Amino acid sequence: MPPSRSSTRQANDRRAGSGSESASHSTSAGGRERRAARRVHLRAPLIVRWPGEQESSKIRILDLSRSGFRFECHKIYSIHDHGHADSIKPEGTHIGSDFVIVWAREVKPGTFQYGARFVKSESLRRSA
């Protein structure tokens, strides 16, 4: 007998780092904002390279701040996974930044949202 939909979702949530690590990611229990910088809602594609993967993957940014960003995709990643985001500004300037996933949750079956914090390149190289 196949697993129930709820047990499948619970297993996916665990793989995506859901549960207590992802609950209430933006505010404290008192409802106060916990972000280090103001966020801007931004719906845009972004190319990401993950250590150990040959091909880059495309994700969708949902919002962005000086300290990090929230994105959505269909792949399962774990808390503490590192990546490198690449983008090109409208005037043609290439920009890139290393990041680490700090929270994750499944928003609907097969679709996941993640919170990522920007990190210095040296810390990514040390942890790889």
- Domain harbouring 108, CATH code: 2.40.10.220
- 88 SS3 class: strand
Domain residues for 121?
Answer: 5-127
Please choose, from the candidates 25, 14, 21, 82, the residue with its C-alpha nearest in 3D space to the C-alpha of residue 51: 82
Q: Is the dihedral of CA 117, 121, 127, 128 positive or negative?
A: positive
40 versus 114: which is more confidently predicted?
114
Both tokens of 27, joined, read 């505010």
pLDDT in tens, 15-33: 444 433 333 344 444 555 5
- The count of domains in the chain is 1
Cα distance between residue 69 and residue 56, in whole Å: 18
This model's pTM is above 0.85: no
pLDDT in tens, 60-118: 999 999 999 999 999 999 999 999 998 877 888 888 899 999 999 999 999 999 999 99
